[in-house]
Structure 1
Amino acid sequence: MSYTNSELFVSPFCRRTAARTPNSFTMERLLRKCIIRNQLVRECLAECLGLYILIGSGAAAQVITSNGNHGNYLTIQLGSALGALFGILVAHGVSGAHLNVVWSMSLSILGRHPWRKVPLYALSHLLGAFLGAATVYLQYYDAIQVFSGGQLLVAGPNATAAIFCSYPAEHLSFWGGLVDQVVATALLLICCLAVVDRRQGRLPNGLAPVLVGALILAIGLSMGSNCGFPLNPARDLGPRLFTFIAGWGEEVFTAGGGWWWIPTVAPFVGGLLGTVIYELLIEVHHLTTPHEEQSPGPELEEVVVDSGNNR
């Protein structure tokens, strides 16, 4: 058999299937042996990896440790939004990419997700956030040490704890922080429910993650100055636990008058409020046709997420 010059050039690629040797599938066979058969385990692993991906602390670390020479508030929010987008893309085909136990809770309240999975998803999110924070710390270890003078501080001009989790601004009161997180998380849930509400019109494939990323960006740009809009209990608690272990000490839990529990608890209140508001004001009023009344409509996709970034 003969080939033209152009065919000779592309043939190693175009004819790769025919040219495979008996050992060509070694890696494929090895990977197939690693397949996990249990669906719930696969979902938890996907949730863990998805939240690991969405951690936006890398952007915050770059800005803080460079004294603003390599980015600013906008780049932190962009990093957070893009992290959420790609975190969803990583996990949505396996678990639906909840990436936020508040979203899982909302779907369970609406009867669209089994309650038994909620605590397992929550633990997966916590682990993913913890590992994400650890990765950022390893990547920016030298920068953090130089910027902080070797002291891992929670407060002060050389503080670095805010790279990983949220702390209240000086002007923010206890009640102000509580209201901030309840309102912001309620808005997050209202908009996420709208994104997956098929009665609002089906979205093109792949658009939902982009819309959620844009939503995270909008919340960060408009509601981020009070406390960094954590919106996600695991997104804040996981990195906070890491900083406690890594050397910042117990001050990560005592700073801001014991601030840590607000981004851990308030999002649940906001999520419940947002779910009720959307159901009462929007979804319950969707018009139904006789056919839709006789047969159940399509279930909502569990494609959404997420969480914001901190500082």
Structure 2
Amino acid sequence: MFKDRQFVGELISEFIAVFIIVLIGDAVAGMYFLYDPSPYRTAYWGVCIVWGLAVMIAIYVTGAVSGTHANPAVTLALALYRGFPWRKVLPYNAAQILGGVAGAAIVYVLYAPVIDHYNMLHHFDRMHDGGAAGVFFTHPGEAITPLHALVDEIILTAMLLLGIFAVTSEYNTQAPQANSGALIIGLLVAALGGCAGYLEAWALNPARDFGPRLFCFLAGWGPTALPSPGHYWWVPIVGPLVGGVIGGGAFQFLVLPYMPRRRPPSQIESGPGEPAKVEPFPSPDAAPPPYIAARR
């Protein structure tokens, strides 16, 4: 009974985490797209910071319950490399996508009059022109084809997962201590947006893109949301999933085997007044011990 209740709590937590990220992130996208002059047009780094802060807040709110995957790419990588139960993967993904739908719905409630004014001013139509769709979901930037965007998303999400795995590794002696990992992960998201966000709006997260896209399909954007021009809708799903597997694997097989493995001081002989010795991590041929998902 307790286990079922705990699992429901984890799903609610994942829903809330993505809800927070999309609510804050899409809202700042509204500030960027819908106003002229926009306070962010000449200060794009501010948009990146707000997205990073959204991730940080989501982790602080929900991390103690579910570990704040908040991203199907993270959930998949944790199942592959850190022992997260496979039976939880699809329910987590569903909760994450629903959180994206709900977050987009609240952004729409906030910005609906501004969206209508923007579309009227620029003679855009939701159904045919995708007017203001960039507030909610991603699309290729200038000179970027869907195939190139797929490659971009794989690379950027691989960098994200490499960073997340490093920050949350119990063997990483250089990882942030206490609860500052949320801040570092948020800054990582901001850094990726700052260096490559204009390529295709750095989705990095299937739930962050598909949830709002699904909401927009139901809210009047129709085919401009799904399947979207050039059938682009699948790129921000497949790219991050593949990139997450690559980035998580890069840490697990290229970095983790060479990190020190700490044992309790009572298990390691040390001289009087000396700090506890650090035992090297086993060789890559040895089976590594189980890992925690996110400092849980």
The TM tier, using the shorter chain, reads: 0.7 to 0.9
CA apart distance, 1:75: 2.5
Unaligned runs of 5+ in 1: 1-34, 305-311
8 Å CA contact 1:154, 1:162 repeated in 2? no
In structure 2, the CA distance between the partners of 1:195 and 1:246, relative to structure 1 (3 Å rule), is same
1:174 and 2:146 are equivalent in the alignment: yes
1:299 and 2:272 are equivalent in the alignment: no
Question: Which residue of 56, 60, 72 corresponds with 2:29?
Answer: 60
CA apart distance, 1:54: 1.1
Secondary structure of the residue aligned to 1:140 is helix
Letter in 1 for 2:164: C
Aligned Cα root-mean-square deviation (Å): 2.6
TM-score (norm 2): 0.83
Match of 1:277 in 2: 250
Match of 2:65 in 1: 94
Count of residues in Structure 1 that have an aligned counterpart in Structure 2: 269
Match of 1:239 in 2: 212
Match of 2:132 in 1: 160
CA apart distance, 1:287: 4.3
In structure 2, the CA distance between the partners of 1:109 and 1:301, relative to structure 1 (3 Å rule), is closer
TM-score (norm 1): 0.80
In structure 2, the CA distance between the partners of 1:76 and 1:289, relative to structure 1 (3 Å rule), is closer
Letter in 2 for 1:228: A
Match of 1:224 in 2: 197
1:286 and 2:259 are equivalent in the alignment: yes
Unaligned runs of 5+ in 2: 268-278, 283-287
The one-character-per-residue Cα deviations of 1:68-102 (angstroms, maximum 9, x if unpaired) are 43323222212211111101111101111110111
1:257 and 2:224 are equivalent in the alignment: no
Match of 1:51 in 2: 18
8 Å CA contact 2:157, 2:247 repeated in 1? yes
1:114 and 2:81 are equivalent in the alignment: no
Deviates more, 1:195-204 or 1:54-63: 195-204
Distance in 1 between residues matched to 2:184 and 2:127, nearest whole Å: 34
Letter in 2 for 1:302: A
Bigger Rg, structure 1 or 2: 1
In structure 2, the CA distance between the partners of 1:250 and 1:191, relative to structure 1 (3 Å rule), is same
Distance in 1 between residues matched to 2:255 and 2:3, nearest whole Å: 40
In structure 2, the CA distance between the partners of 1:96 and 1:257, relative to structure 1 (3 Å rule), is same
Secondary structure of the residue aligned to 1:226 is helix
Distance in 2 between residues matched to 1:297 and 1:224, nearest whole Å: 37
In structure 2, the CA distance between the partners of 1:288 and 1:140, relative to structure 1 (3 Å rule), is closer
Secondary structure of the residue aligned to 2:141 is coil
CA apart distance, 1:189: 0.5
Secondary structure of the residue aligned to 1:162 is helix
The one-character-per-residue Cα deviations of 1:107-131 (angstroms, maximum 9, x if unpaired) are 1111421111111110110010000
Question: Which residue of 3, 6, 9 corresponds with 1:42?
Answer: 9
8 Å CA contact 1:208, 1:303 repeated in 2? no
Letter in 2 for 1:77: C
Distance in 2 between residues matched to 1:208 and 1:136, nearest whole Å: 28
Secondary structure of the residue aligned to 1:64 is helix
8 Å CA contact 1:134, 1:242 repeated in 2? yes
In structure 2, the CA distance between the partners of 1:155 and 1:176, relative to structure 1 (3 Å rule), is farther
In structure 2, the CA distance between the partners of 1:175 and 1:223, relative to structure 1 (3 Å rule), is same
Question: Which residue of 174, 185, 188 corresponds with 1:212?
Answer: 185
Distance in 1 between residues matched to 2:54 and 2:167, nearest whole Å: 18
In structure 2, the CA distance between the partners of 1:219 and 1:303, relative to structure 1 (3 Å rule), is farther
Letter in 2 for 1:286: M
Match of 1:125 in 2: 96
In structure 2, the CA distance between the partners of 1:130 and 1:179, relative to structure 1 (3 Å rule), is same
Match of 2:166 in 1: 194
